[in-house]
Structure 1
């Protein structure tokens, strides 16, 4: 990681310290890991991705911290200034590093604009009287309702914008801000996976979304939608896993490198995130249309200096094994390796996610006729 990247990570840690304890406990490590992966991916992709990362970091900082501390102008100002510092850090680092292919275009090109779905969002009363923000687009009479799940793996609903703008052309598609994010109410206390599942269910039914749904989950969001499907089986018609986490990953990674993630023995952390304790096995299975999308751009071993080359290679191999395992959890399961994609596939290869959703939708329609 370059000096500018390390500096950006240091600032990001300071931003996390401004968040409430519950948000840091439930989402902090995941947010940091995604941020680091975005930095690495931006190095390889180019300036459009760099600009996207900058805009996203700035937005998430203000949207997450701003509403909580709205009465305190000083903290809001700190959030805004810190986000600006990260943005400046990105541009300074990428425009001066001769190893990056965009070095000659920094002062001349306009950052690429991300497509966004037509705005039709609303606040929906759900989950104990709290309000959650829901954004639905596309024709509600076309295909199954697609839910781009958040609350784990991805933050505010805008993170799905590139995917949603494609899916809305052939289906009804919804994304949302979970409690504690974006425009949804900010609720104190811990929000374990079981509670997040119930919040999802309350939201979908309060908004009268037509089911059954195609659930799409990225990273730890894959665990979230599996938990939802397990709890509300009849609500789900199909699943798309986007480089999904796996319930066994903490203890299996620890068997390779005990220092890779110290949380692997933290029972509260594991239960809160829907992960399994050491030696426990995932029992979930369901024969619904299912597509697993896997990244092909793996993190370099230089990103994990505490690991040996052998340990790093084994960790990457284990991730592939997790994806293979998930694809075998349904007799209709399919594994697709997406060329040129890292973990942030929703930004880098939204067309691959959209195609997977379309294919699952077609399979559902075929099976019901």
Structure 2
């Protein structure tokens, strides 16, 4: 009986603390969003069929321009920010935020691979980015690049797939591993976290704690509320996007670099079973080699010390590959 009385007394206290914590988080989130609205964008905007899209254009080159496509990632163009700063000014480089990400308005277009390619093409035209383009796509961005190449092949000088997602990975993965690696983000939990300020804490140190990422680490948590819902929307459409992308299986003779991470410990954080981890390493190697078949002019580059985010682990390898690709397509 004493225990029951104690429980009856403690429950209201716990509920009161929980309500206070949620209220505090909600107020913190509202204040943080108000402050975030005052942050000046680092790039420019263009009107794309009824909504504004944000892009960062650097350099003075006459072409081909280097066009970066981001992964399934709330950071948008910030994933390429440090690389754009490091590349020579005689290159024209271009990164952007897909609709609904960071500073780009969501608009009304569906999140399909083809429509995202159309939006990027229109944005490049509006921003007067010199053609043709060298497309650099990381992870999910590598899947999206397929739609652009398929729709605008004459505007593409070269393609670089950086640890690119393989659209038809079911072909190489056991059912157990396929389910594990394709479980996605917990949508309901992320929406809750976004409402009550927790998402800002989760994404506080998304980038490495190094000087070249200081800006990204300051902007990312401040603007996560702008990206969260668009990222979840992309996740909802991921299956259909990948299915359509798998049907685009040729870039013909467009030069292609397939950049692959070489750190075999990169799957340790989310695959604990040694057998499944070894299966993943082997399957990823096969999928990356299969990507080479997209073009009759392709080669693989291994980033030996990198995990999935080569652009953070060994950005110099990407920068060197861009310089090589630029030289290759301008001297043909």
Q: Structure 1-normalised TM-score?
A: 0.61
| Secondary structure, counterpart of 1:148 in structure 2 | strand
Counterpart residue number, 1:177: 97
Shift of 1:303: 2.6
Among 271, 284, 290, the residue aligned to 1:304? 271
| Secondary structure, counterpart of 1:303 in structure 2 | coil
Tell me, yes or no, if the aligned pair for 2:71 and 2:138 is still in contact at 8 Å: no
Structure 1 pair 166–262 and aligned structure 2 pair: CA distance change class (3 A): closer
CA deviation string 1:262-308 (max 9, x = no partner): 669xx97444433469xx76632321121111101132446324xx4
Shift of 1:340: 0.9
Counterpart residue number, 2:298: 333
Counterpart residue number, 2:257: 291
Q: Distance in 2 between matches of 1:281 and 1:339?
A: 31
Shift of 1:366: 1.3
Shift of 1:311: 2.3
CA deviation string 1:91-120 (max 9, x = no partner): xxxxxxxxxxxxxxxxxxxxxxxxxxxx97
Shift of 1:163: 1.3
RMSD: 3.0
Structure 1 pair 255–77 and aligned structure 2 pair: CA distance change class (3 A): same
Tell me, yes or no, if the aligned pair for 2:61 and 2:89 is still in contact at 8 Å: no
1:347 aligns with 2:312: yes
Tell me, yes or no, if the aligned pair for 1:124 and 1:206 is still in contact at 8 Å: yes
Tell me, yes or no, if the aligned pair for 1:139 and 1:171 is still in contact at 8 Å: yes
Structure 1's unaligned 5+ residue stretches are: 1-71, 81-118
1:135 aligns with 2:101: no
Tell me, yes or no, if the aligned pair for 2:253 and 2:296 is still in contact at 8 Å: yes
Q: Distance in 1 between matches of 2:145 and 2:247?
A: 18
Per chain length, whose mean CA-contact separation is higher, i.e. which structure has more relative contact order (CA < 8 Å, sep 6+)? Answer: 2
Q: Distance in 2 between matches of 1:121 and 1:262?
A: 33
Structure 1 pair 168–189 and aligned structure 2 pair: CA distance change class (3 A): same
CA deviation string 1:207-245 (max 9, x = no partner): 222211000000110011121101111111101111111
Structure 1 pair 310–76 and aligned structure 2 pair: CA distance change class (3 A): same
Structure 1 pair 289–218 and aligned structure 2 pair: CA distance change class (3 A): same
Counterpart residue number, 1:75: 29
Counterpart residue number, 1:112: none
Counterpart residue number, 1:124: 46
Shift of 1:248: 1.0
Structure 1 pair 130–123 and aligned structure 2 pair: CA distance change class (3 A): same
Kindly tell me the number of residue pairs found equivalent between the two proteins. 251
Structure 1 pair 346–192 and aligned structure 2 pair: CA distance change class (3 A): same
1:259 aligns with 2:259: no
Structure 1 pair 154–226 and aligned structure 2 pair: CA distance change class (3 A): farther
Structure 1 pair 339–79 and aligned structure 2 pair: CA distance change class (3 A): farther
Structure 1 pair 173–251 and aligned structure 2 pair: CA distance change class (3 A): same
Q: Distance in 1 between matches of 2:74 and 2:320?
A: 20
Tell me, yes or no, if the aligned pair for 1:256 and 1:314 is still in contact at 8 Å: no
Shift of 1:157: 1.2
Tell me, yes or no, if the aligned pair for 1:153 and 1:217 is still in contact at 8 Å: no
Structure 1 pair 270–230 and aligned structure 2 pair: CA distance change class (3 A): same
Tell me, yes or no, if the aligned pair for 2:147 and 2:248 is still in contact at 8 Å: no
Shift of 1:154: 6.7
Q: Which has the larger radius of gyration?
A: 2
Structure 1 pair 213–258 and aligned structure 2 pair: CA distance change class (3 A): closer
Tell me, yes or no, if the aligned pair for 2:250 and 2:295 is still in contact at 8 Å: no
CA deviation string 1:138-194 (max 9, x = no partner): 1133x4111011364573212101211122434111111111111111346852222
Counterpart residue number, 1:322: 287
Tell me, yes or no, if the aligned pair for 2:249 and 2:294 is still in contact at 8 Å: no
Counterpart residue number, 1:274: 242
1:364 aligns with 2:329: yes
Tell me, yes or no, if the aligned pair for 2:46 and 2:52 is still in contact at 8 Å: yes
Structure 1 pair 270–79 and aligned structure 2 pair: CA distance change class (3 A): same
